[in-house]
């Protein structure tokens, strides 16, 4: 597929998610969370294009949380945002210091860092008058989380495409929920989109459990070609009657 066809496909899938879950409404001011990685850049391009053609009015406000790790390349992020016609909002946190001081032994560095970042995103959304926060999680992220939670946490849950944040103020949206990661990989490579990583000292050991889920799904895909769609459908087709949760059913 060429660059345009790939982008059209990604845009169609994101547009479907926006419609299915009512992700964007009139006069929304959406904080678009930009890590500098492929997923968030793709989300920004798609939302910008959908915004251009939308029958309703909404605004996009890209925001990057600088986690404070040495080497985090804010210059590339600012430059690319400016090139795309946006103003860069950078918020610097002392993430590394907080993590080093408060992370309990055995807890996940990445998960702790993500929680801190989420807090910083909500605070920034409030400061900038944004009622929504858009995150770049794609279909593979959703189904990996579904498996991770079953295998390691003993819950049947994943990530919602639309969820009121814990602070009760902002709504988190995930417009790439239907977009497979390989489409994003291919499109960002063809389009020469810059890739900035978080420069975290744990980067090489990062998310090993998630990586395991990724490999497992890839392995099974040989045998079950529709596995990703099937897992996506499982999240849309919960049958509490056939589960064991006493909170969902009287026994
Ligand atoms: N430093 C950050 N500043 C702002 N938003 C962030 C930051 N890091 C992550 N996010 C948001 O959270 C989403 C999920 O983060 P995660 O660390 O899982 O990234 P990822 O799957 O590698 O995505 P990406 O390719 O965008 O980096 C990102 O797509 C982005 O929207």
Query: Tell me, what CATH number does 122's domain have?
Result: 3.40.50.620
| Residue nearest atom 18 in ligand 1 by C-alpha distance | 137
* Any domain includes 41: yes
**Residue 210, in any domain of the structure:** no
Residue 117 lies in a domain: yes
CB distance 89 to ligand 1 below 6 Å? no
Q: Is residue 244 part of a domain?
A: no
**Residue 219 is assigned to a structural domain of this protein:** no
Q: What is the pLDDT of residue 243?
A: 96
The ligand 1 atom nearest the CA atom of 40: 26
Domain of residue 170 covers: 3-205
**Is there a domain that residue 214 lies in?**
no
Q: Given this model, what pLDDT does residue 108 score?
A: 73
Domain membership flag for residue 247 = no
77 alpha carbon to ligand 1 midpoint, in Å? 13
pLDDT tens for the chain, 251 residues: list them. 899 999 999 999 999 999 999 999 999 999 999 999 999 999 999 999 999 988 999 999 999 999 888 888 999 999 999 999 999 999 988 767 777 777 777 677 778 888 889 999 999 999 999 999 999 999 999 999 999 999 999 999 999 999 999 889 999 999 999 999 999 999 999 999 999 988 777 766 667 889 999 999 999 999 999 999 999 999 999 999 999 999 998 99
Q: Name, in order, each residue with C-beta under 8 angstroms of 220's C-beta and a sequence gap of 6 or more.
A: 227
Ligand 1 center–CA 37 separation, angstroms: 7
What is residue 99's predicted lDDT score, i.e. its pLDDT? 74
Would the CB of 137 count as within 6 Å of ligand 1?
yes
Looking at the 3D structure of the chain, how many domains does it have? 1
Question: What is the interface pTM, i.e. ipTM, of the complex?
Answer: 0.96
For every residue of the chain, DSSP letters joined together read --HHHHHHHHHHHHHHHHHHTT---TT-EEEEE--SSHHHHHHHHHHHHHHHH-SS--EEEEEEEE---TT--HHHHHHHHHHTT---EEEE--HHHHHHHHPPTTS-HHHHHHHHHHHHHHHHHHHTT-SEEE----HHHHHHHHHHIIIII-------SEEE-TTSS-EEE-TTTT--HHHHHHHHHHTT--------TTGGGTTHHHHHHHHHHHHHHHH-TTHHHHHHHHHH---GGGS--TTTS--
pLDDT at residue 206 in the model: 66
Residue 125 within a domain: yes
């Amino acid at each position: 597929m060429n660059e345009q066809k790939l982008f059209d496909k990604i845009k169609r899938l994101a547009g479907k998610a926006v419609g299915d879950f009512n992700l964007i409404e009139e006069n929304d001011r959406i904080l678009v969370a930009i890590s500098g990685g492929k997923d968030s850049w793709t989300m920004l391009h798609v939302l910008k294009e959908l915004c251009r053609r939308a029958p309703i009015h909404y605004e996009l406000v890209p925001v990057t949380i600088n986690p404070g790790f040495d080497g985090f390349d804010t210059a590339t992020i600012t430059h690319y945002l400016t090139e795309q016609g946006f103003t860069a909002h950078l918020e610097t946190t002392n993430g590394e210091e907080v993590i080093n001081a408060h992370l309990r032994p055995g807890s996940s560095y990445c998960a702790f860092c993500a929680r801190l970042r989420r807090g910083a995103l909500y605070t920034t959304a409030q400061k900038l008058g944004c009622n929504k926060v858009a995150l770049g999680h794609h279909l593979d992220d959703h189904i990996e989380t579904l498996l991770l939670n079953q295998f390691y946490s003993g819950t049947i849950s994943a990530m919602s495409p639309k969820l009121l944040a814990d602070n009760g103020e902002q709504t988190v949206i995930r417009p790439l929920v239907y977009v497979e990661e390989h489409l994003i990989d291919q499109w960002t490579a063809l389009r020469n989109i810059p890739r900035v990583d978080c420069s975290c000292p744990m980067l090489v050991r990062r998310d090993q459990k998630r990586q395991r889920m990724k490999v497992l799904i890839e392995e099974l895909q040989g045998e079950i070609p529709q596995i990703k769609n099937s897992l996506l459908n499982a999240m849309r087709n919960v049958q509490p009657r056939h589960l064991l949760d006493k909170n969902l059913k009287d026994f």
